[in-house]
C-alpha cells in the first residue's frame, strides 16, 4: 500500500499473506491505515496484490531485540557508532555514514527513499541511485509470530508499527551473508528512536538518535568488503520473499552509561 496526501508520501506498508482467504481483511486494514494516519487522511491510495509461488518463499527468524536508553541524541549517536564498530564496521565507515544520514543522504540533502549501501571497511557508497537507494521488500512475519510480537513488545510499552516493521526489515537485511550491520533512524519528525542491527547482536534499539522535529532520516546497510555480487544482494533484499516464522528474544531497555 502506498498512500499520499497533497502529493506528499504519507504511508506505505506491505504484507505477505499465507492464505488467500486473508487477503481481503489485510486490504481493509491497509485502507484504514491510510485513511487514519496521524498526519492526516490520505487523498490517494494505491493497493497492489501479487501472487507469490510457494516455492519462491524462504523462511527465517526474527532478530533478538534489546533496547538502550540514552539521555540525549548526541549520546545515542556515539552509542550507535560504538555498536557498529563492535559488529565489524570500521570507525571511518561508521562515522561517515552517521554524517550522511544526519545531513540527508540524497543529493540536495533530503532523505533517500531507500537505503545507502556502504562498504563496511572503506565507507564508500555503493548504491547506484543515491535518491532511491535500495528498497527492501517482500518480508513479513507469520500471523502467529505477529501476535507473539505484539504481546512481548506490549510488556515493554513498545508495541507500535515503527518497531515491528523495522524489526522485520532489519531481520531480512542482516540475514544476507554480505551484510555486516544496519543503521537506521526514522524520517518521521516525531519519532526520535533508531537502531543498529547485526546477526550477532540482533536488533539494538536506541531511544534517541535525532533531535525532535528533524525530518532527515535514513538507513545504511554495511556490506562486507570485497562482496562481489552486489546485484545478487540487491535482488535478495528487494525481491526474494521471506516469511519469518520464529520469534527472537525480547529484552528490557538498559540504561547506557556513556562508557565505551
Task: Select from 114, 123, 202, 248 the one that contacts ligand AMP (CB under 6 A).
Answer: 114
Site for ligand AMP contains 135 (CB under 6 A): yes
Nearer to ligand AMP, 42 or 258 (CB): 42
Please answer whether residues 211 and 221 qualify as being in contact, where contact means their C-beta atoms are separated by less than 8 angstroms: no
Q: Under DSSP, is residue 67 helix (H, G, I), strand (E, B) or coil?
A: strand
Please answer whether residues 46 and 2 qualify as being in contact, where contact means their C-beta atoms are separated by less than 8 angstroms: yes
Site for ligand AMP contains 205 (CB under 6 A): no
What is the contact mask toward ligand AMP in residues 137 to 166, using x (rule: CB under 6 A)?
x----------------------------x
Please, where are the H alpha helices in 127-228? 143-154, 161-175
Residue with cell 515503527: 162
Task: Select from 26, 188, 245, 251 the one that contacts ligand AMP (CB under 6 A).
Answer: 188
Give, as ranges, the residues between 40 and 69 that touch ligand AMP (CB under 6 A). Answer: none
Span from 35-43, 49-57, 66-74, 134-142 in contact with ligand AMP (CB under 6 A) = 134-142
Please answer whether residues 107 and 131 qualify as being in contact, where contact means their C-beta atoms are separated by less than 8 angstroms: yes
Cα distance between residue 22 and residue 210, in whole Å: 38
What is the contact mask toward ligand AMP in residues 209 to 248, using x (rule: CB under 6 A)?
--------xxx-----------------------------
Cα distance between residue 196 and residue 171, in whole Å: 11
Span from 19-27, 81-89, 108-116, 118-126 in contact with ligand AMP (CB under 6 A) = 108-116
Widest pairwise Cα distance in the chain: 52
* Centroid of chain to Cα 161: 11
Please answer whether residues 215 and 187 qualify as being in contact, where contact means their C-beta atoms are separated by less than 8 angstroms: yes
What is the contact mask toward ligand AMP in residues 62 to 101, using x (rule: CB under 6 A)?
----------------------------------------
Residues in touch with ligand AMP (CB under 6 A): 111-115, 134-137, 166, 184, 186-188, 217-219
Amino acid at each position: 500500500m502506498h498512500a499520499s496526501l497533497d502529493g506528499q508520501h504519507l504511508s506505505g506498508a506491505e504484507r505477505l499473506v499465507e492464505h488467500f482467504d486473508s487477503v481481503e481483511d489485510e486490504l481493509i486494514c491497509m485502507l484504514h491505515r491510510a485513511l487514519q494516519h496521524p498526519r492526516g487522511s490520505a487523498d490517494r491510495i494505491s493497493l497492489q496484490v501479487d501472487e507469490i509461488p510457494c516455492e519462491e518463499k524462504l523462511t527465517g527468524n526474527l532478530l533478538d531485540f534489546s533496547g538502550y536508553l540514552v539521555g540525549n541524541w548526541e549520546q545515542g549517536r556515539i552509542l550507535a557508532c560504538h555498536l557498529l564498530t563492535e559488529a565489524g564496521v570500521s570507525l571511518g565507515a561508521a562515522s561517515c555514514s552517521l554524517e550522511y544520514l544526519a545531513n540527508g543522504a540524497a543529493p540536495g540533502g533530503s532523505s533517500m527513499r531507500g537505503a545507502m549501501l556502504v562498504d563496511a571497511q572503506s565507507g564508500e557508497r555503493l548504491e547506484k541511485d543515491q535518491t532511491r537507494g535500495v528498497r527492501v521488500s517482500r518480508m513479513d512475519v507469520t500471523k502467529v509470530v505477529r501476535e507473539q510480537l505484539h504481546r512481548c513488545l506490549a510488556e515493554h510499552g513498545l508495541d507500535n508499527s515503527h518497531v515491528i516493521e523495522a524489526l522485520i526489515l532489519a531481520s531480512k537485511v542482516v540475514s544476507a551473508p554480505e551484510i555486516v550491520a544496519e543503521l537506521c533512524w526514522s524520517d518521521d519528525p516525531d519519532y526520535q528512536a533508531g537502531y543498529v542491527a547485526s546477526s550477532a547482536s540482533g536488533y539494538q534499539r536506541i531511544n534517541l538518535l535525532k533531535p525532535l522535529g528533524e525530518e532527515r532520516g535514513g538507513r545504511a546497510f554495511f556490506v562486507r568488503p570485497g562482496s562481489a555480487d552486489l546485484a545478487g544482494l540487491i535482488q535478495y533484499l528487494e525481491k526474494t520473499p521471506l516469511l519469518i516464522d520464529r520469534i527472537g528474544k525480547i529484552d528490557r531497555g538498559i540504561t547506557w552509561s556513556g562508557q565505551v
